[in-house]
Chains A and B, each alone.
Chain A
Amino acid sequence: MPPSLPDFSNSVKLKYVKLGYQYLVNHILTLTLLPIMAAIFVEVLRMGPEEILNLWRSLQFDVVQILCCSFLIIFIATFYFMSKPRSIFLVDYACFKPPLTCRVPFATFMEHSRLILKDKPKSVEFQMRILERSGLGEETCLPPAIHYIPPTPNMEAARGEAELVIFSAMDSLFEKTGLKPKDIDILIVNCSLFSPTPSLSAMVINKYKLRSNTKSFNLSGMGCSAGLISIDLARDLLQVHPNSNAVIVSTEIITPNYYQGNERAMLLPNCLFRMGGAAILLTNRRSERRQAKYRLVHVVRTHKGADDKAYRCVFEEEDKEGNVGISLSKDLMAIAGEALKSNITTIGPLVLPASEQLLFLLTLIGRKIFNPKWKPYIPDFRQAFEHFCIHAGGRAVIDELQKNLQLSAEHVEASRMTLHRFGNTSSSSLWYELSYIEAKGRMKKGDRVWQIAFGSGFKCNSAVWKCNRTIKTAIDGQGPWADCIDRYPVHIPEVVKL
């Protein structure tokens, strides 16, 4: 039986006390101005209309006074608007659609497996059992080098896959947004396990001839949550640089990392990880407000690396024969739950409506003062969000999160269908899921989306987006779901008999 997520503990209480205190102190000016305004209002009511007219006539309006007053108001208004943090908009994004020739149906995968691991039938059977219960479909894709028997993962093939994925996604992004390469100010590329010299960001700059003062960053090793880390970095950079565009490329290059040994814990990623990538355009330009699809509201990052168990649960190491692979530990779910809990305690106060927060506070007080046996109140996140994008890490992850956040099947449909159609594409899976929701025509103006991703280390990152305009379904065949959205949702059985 899988271990369930731990309940909310006392760490949340302190956060709420702090919140109340911070609110009081931060808004002290507003809170003192309010009684003054109330007093003026009462005074005005008391005086009556004739007295007000008399007061009005008795006022001598000096031109200088009026000018000073109006300048003061204008200055204050300008300072107020300038001191607000800039809004970050997501103009559009493009997901890589793998070519048909790279498809890996179950039969192909098992045949490969049998040929490569011919002296280890137990490992083959293990892979078959994983595949049966994985929730993947027949249309997921692996890069061309992995289709060889045995696979040929050399550097040239890895670069080839990187070029295929990244350049297609970027070409698609340029087409969708009308962006010119010369207008890109910030470029962030994240790919966990492949970092050639010069970096993938330099490869993008070379191919599209970006400007020489483009700020480029190449993040790696940060796991499946790296996409949201890139968004966090882009947001911080866009706060400092006005009128800028930032392009983020999230991908995972599989060619060099296909495990070639036969250690079971390390064969698991082979069954789940598939080829995919996404390119996202963020901006802080006010002129893009109308066309932008989403506005970034919050990004919350939680890192559980200080805890040894969390740190070791997704680990790259060598097996006895020297093959490098990623081993996943058995308590992955429990650790994911812990990380999620930390993340929720930070993001909860930011997104939950006052009603939920009040209920939570009251239950907390009740438990402390009246009866400790009261069940802790788990806030209903469905009140805060209309759509959920849960990283399609695997079926178990989606099941656990669905149970513990009390989500309905429709909420997690995007995640399940992405896992089925594209497999676990690591950091870009969140964008395939968002694309699914849009393709189904469910995204309306004002909807809030919560993207949750887990990563090695162990990290849990969330991003909250607010939809800026109702998004019509793609009629011109664009997007990765264009040719198959009508077949979805499909029912994914518990076990697919192979």
Chain B
Amino acid sequence: MELLVLLYALSTLYFLLMVWKWVGAKRDQECYILDYECYKPTDDRMLGTKFCGEIITRTKNLGLLECRFLLRAIVSAGLGEQTYAPRIMFSGREDNPTLLDGISEMEEFFEDCIANLLSRSGISPSEIDVLVVNVAMLSSVPSLSARIINQYKMRDDIKVFNLTAMGCSASLISVDIVKNLFKSYKNLFALVVTSESLSPNWYSGNDRSMILTNCLFRSGGSAILLTNKRAMSNRAMFRLKCLVRTHHGARDESYGCCMQKEDEQGRVGINLGKTLPKAATRALADNLRQISPKILPMRELVRFMVVNLARKMNGSSSEKTTGAPKTKVNFKTGVDHFCVHTGGKAVIDGIGTSLNLSEYDVEPARMTLHRFGNTSASSIWYVLGYMEAKKRLKKGDKVFMVSFGAGFKCNSSLWEVMRDMGDGNVWKDCIDRYPVKTSDNPFMEKYGWINQEMDLDPSTFKLVPDYI
């Protein structure tokens, strides 16, 4: 009988060992952000009001109407005087960008941001196992990821991915790749580098739907260091709870609303169509529908269902039309902070209304738009930096990130804050001036008269230089 007991004992032990390994494996699959760094370009790249006016006047192709349109756009954009532009704007060559301009813009960012991040977190480049780079509008041979590997001398068995053309929501797509890799492999360090290359993409024509991108996009970028090592969890800043991606490319109007094409003169630019706001709202609604069950507490979901059911029953019995306002889910029950993509003032307002957010909630996004402009995929990290600098993030808080991209995509994710944070990071030298009221901005002071100009007679219209 001893043999049988021995057999039982061995098999039970083995079984317990496997269970323990399985549980351990699950804990090794968490996605932690160890550190992140947002890029602050040098001060000689700041774009002030005077220089904006100069750029508009020296652009030869702009007619009077386009000038007025541009000025109107700049005035109401919500940008401040300290946003950054690529160097090519300051040497006046934006109409003829060379390949080197785009690449050197990126290399300047790589040298600064990634080096800072790695030295601050004490990780050497040869320890990086996964590298995901997303820069939407530049694809070169060798890829930008190969440039980073060359510059920092990373290992030869590194898993590297170079994503392009995925729009302003690409950083969450990169995090998605990293999250999936963390589930299959143990003990990895991942580096996600996200930025936008503006030098080769200045639109030099005069199609109104395409010149808007010139006004809004600014230079910026960020690098994020992630890991799934359990030992690092006490140093981690954030833990990923869930990530949901929604792609509405199947609908033609969503797909066609933001498209890179040539205008009648053959100049390439990004056309922002009139269906953009509607496509965005639809994608956002779909995305929220998928992510709310994962992030909201049970009682909020139950309350929403009950209220909706009651309203439906009331509505069907008394045949009321859409007089009553729709019940909205209260996201603040499950989320403490909102990182909204700074696509523009309209985008932030739109998301604020959809999610029923207060001014306090959208303040980080508005201030980021004011200070850094729309830095495309890296914008949500600047918004996160603002919250951190304002000491809003406490342990256990939940941060919700949402961003849009061409195609039309809406990606969102929920992060849990792992420890109290208060580092100034990229906002260090200006956080004390914020929040500012964006309604009175220097562009409004200088060019606000354009909003009152009703009739535009070319013979009496004074050219812009007089007002600079």
Contact partner of A156 (CB less than 8 A), chosen from B153, B177, B261, is B261
Q: Tell me which residues across on chain B come within 8 A of A200, comparing CB atoms.
A: 165
CB distance from A85 to the nearest CB of B (A): 8
- Cβ contact within 8 Å between A215 and B176: yes
Q: Tell me which residues across on chain B come within 8 A of A217, comparing CB atoms.
A: 161, 163, 166, 173, 177
Which residues 319-366 of A sit at the B interface, judged by CB distance below 8 A? 322, 324, 326, 342, 346
Docked CA distance A79–B20 (Å):
11
Q: Tell me which residues across on chain A come within 8 A of B162, comparing CB atoms.
A: 219-222
Contact partner of A155 (CB less than 8 A), chosen from B15, B156, B246, B261, is B261
Contact partner of B161 (CB less than 8 A), chosen from A72, A211, A212, A233, is A233
- Interface locus among B250-258, B378-386, B433-441, B453-461: B250-258
Q: Tell me which residues across on chain B come within 8 A of A229, comparing CB atoms.
A: 160-161
- Cβ contact within 8 Å between A318 and B141: no
Given contacts A198-B249, A305-B149, A306-B154, contact A219 B98 (CB under 8 A): no
- Cβ contact within 8 Å between B146 and A305: yes
Given contacts A206-B249, A346-B157, contact A193 B11 (CB under 8 A): no
Given contacts A72-B15, A197-B258, A457-B149, contact A221 B249 (CB under 8 A): no
Contact partner of B142 (CB less than 8 A), chosen from A197, A203, A211, A305, is A305
At the interface, yes or no: A199 with Cβ under 8 Å from chain B?
yes
Instruction: Fill in one digit per residue for B97-134: 1 if any A CB lies within 8 Å of its CB, else 0.
Output: 01110000000000000000000000000000000000
- Cβ contact within 8 Å between A202 and B249: yes
Q: Tell me which residues across on chain A come within 8 A of B176, comparing CB atoms.
A: 215
Q: How large is the interface on B (under 10, 10 to 19, 20 to 34, 35 or more residues)?
A: 35 or more
- Cβ contact within 8 Å between A221 and B144: yes
Which residues 245-273 of B sit at the A interface, judged by CB distance below 8 A? 245-252, 255, 258-262, 266, 268, 270
Q: Tell me which residues across on chain B come within 8 A of A75, comparing CB atoms.
A: 15
Instruction: Fill in one digit per residue for A301-328: 1 if any B CB lies within 8 Å of its CB, else 0.
Output: 1111111100100111110001010100
Q: Tell me which residues across on chain A come within 8 A of B18, comparing CB atoms.
A: 76, 79-80, 83
Q: Tell me which residues across on chain B come within 8 A of A239, comparing CB atoms.
A: 183-184
At the interface, yes or no: A177 with Cβ under 8 Å from chain B?
no
- Cβ contact within 8 Å between A223 and B250: no
- Cβ contact within 8 Å between B157 and A456: no
Most A CB within 10 A of own CB, among B163, B164, B183: B164
- Cβ contact within 8 Å between B149 and A303: yes
Q: Tell me which residues across on chain B come within 8 A of A306, comparing CB atoms.
A: 149-150, 153-156
Q: Please give me the residue from chain A that is nearest to B1 by CB atom.
A: A59
Q: Tell me which residues across on chain A come within 8 A of B451, comparing CB atoms.
A: none
At the interface, yes or no: B143 with Cβ under 8 Å from chain A?
yes
At the interface, yes or no: B51 with Cβ under 8 Å from chain A?
no
CB distance from B364 to the nearest CB of A (A): 27
Q: Tell me which residues across on chain A come within 8 A of B155, comparing CB atoms.
A: 303, 306
At the interface, yes or no: B140 with Cβ under 8 Å from chain A?
yes
At the interface, yes or no: B274 with Cβ under 8 Å from chain A?
no
Question: What does DSSP make chain B's interface, helix, strand, loop or mixed?
Answer: mixed
Chain A contributes a number of interface residues (CB within 8 A of B) equal to 75
- Cβ contact within 8 Å between A197 and B406: yes
Q: Tell me which residues across on chain A come within 8 A of B183, comparing CB atoms.
A: 239-240
Given contacts A198-B165, A239-B183, contact A216 B12 (CB under 8 A): no
- Cβ contact within 8 Å between B247 and A198: no
Given contacts A155-B260, A206-B252, A324-B99, contact A220 B164 (CB under 8 A): yes
- Cβ contact within 8 Å between B141 and A221: yes
Instruction: Fill in one digit per residue for A105-139: 1 if any B CB lies within 8 Å of its CB, else 0.
Output: 00000000000000000000000000000000000
Q: Please give me the residue from chain A that is nearest to B182 by CB atom.
A: A240
At the interface, yes or no: A270 with Cβ under 8 Å from chain B?
no
Question: What does DSSP make chain A's interface, helix, strand, loop or mixed?
Answer: mixed
CB distance from B178 to the nearest CB of A (A): 10
At the interface, yes or no: A214 with Cβ under 8 Å from chain B?
yes
At the interface, yes or no: B346 with Cβ under 8 Å from chain A?
no
At the interface, yes or no: B286 with Cβ under 8 Å from chain A?
yes
Q: Tell me which residues across on chain A come within 8 A of B258, comparing CB atoms.
A: 197-198
Instruction: Fill in one digit per residue for B147-191: 1 if any A CB lies within 8 Å of its CB, else 0.
Output: 101100111111111111111000001001100110110000000
At the interface, yes or no: A398 with Cβ under 8 Å from chain B?
no
Q: Please give me the residue from chain A that is nearest to B410 by CB atom.
A: A212
At the interface, yes or no: A54 with Cβ under 8 Å from chain B?
no
- Cβ contact within 8 Å between B139 and A206: no
At the interface, yes or no: B145 with Cβ under 8 Å from chain A?
yes
Q: Tell me which residues across on chain A come within 8 A of B150, comparing CB atoms.
A: 305-308, 311
Docked CA distance A232–B180 (Å):
12
At the interface, yes or no: B449 with Cβ under 8 Å from chain A?
no
Q: Tell me which residues across on chain A come within 8 A of B167, comparing CB atoms.
A: 197-199
At the interface, yes or no: B90 with Cβ under 8 Å from chain A?
no
At the interface, yes or no: B431 with Cβ under 8 Å from chain A?
no
At the interface, yes or no: B19 with Cβ under 8 Å from chain A?
yes
At the interface, yes or no: A29 with Cβ under 8 Å from chain B?
yes
- Cβ contact within 8 Å between B166 and A218: yes
- Cβ contact within 8 Å between B146 and A456: yes
CB distance from B256 to the nearest CB of A (A): 8
CB distance from A169 to the nearest CB of B (A): 18
Docked CA distance A46–B18 (Å):
34
- Cβ contact within 8 Å between A155 and B268: yes
- Cβ contact within 8 Å between B11 and A233: no
- Cβ contact within 8 Å between A221 and B286: no
Q: Tell me which residues across on chain B come within 8 A of A384, comparing CB atoms.
A: none
Q: Tell me which residues across on chain A come within 8 A of B251, comparing CB atoms.
A: 206
Given contacts A155-B268, A317-B99, contact A202 B15 (CB under 8 A): no
- Cβ contact within 8 Å between B149 and A198: no
Most B CB within 10 A of own CB, among A193, A197, A211, A458: A197
At the interface, yes or no: A210 with Cβ under 8 Å from chain B?
yes
Q: Tell me which residues across on chain B come within 8 A of A396, comparing CB atoms.
A: none
- Cβ contact within 8 Å between B260 and A196: yes
Contact partner of A456 (CB less than 8 A), chosen from B8, B99, B142, B184, is B142
Q: Tell me which residues across on chain B come within 8 A of A83, comparing CB atoms.
A: 18, 21-22
At the interface, yes or no: A213 with Cβ under 8 Å from chain B?
yes
- Cβ contact within 8 Å between B143 and A342: no
Contact partner of B143 (CB less than 8 A), chosen from A222, A237, A318, is A222
CB pairs A–B below 8 angstroms (11 shown): A195-B137, A196-B165, A212-B248, A213-B290, A221-B145, A222-B145, A239-B184, A240-B183, A305-B150, A456-B141, A459-B146
The 9 closest A-B pairs by CB, nearest first: A221-B143, A205-B249, A305-B149, A199-B165, A202-B407, A457-B146, A195-B165, A206-B255, A316-B141
10 additional contacts (CB under 8 A) given A155-B262, A240-B184: A196-B165, A198-B260, A202-B406, A203-B255, A213-B246, A221-B164, A303-B157, A305-B147, A307-B150, A314-B142
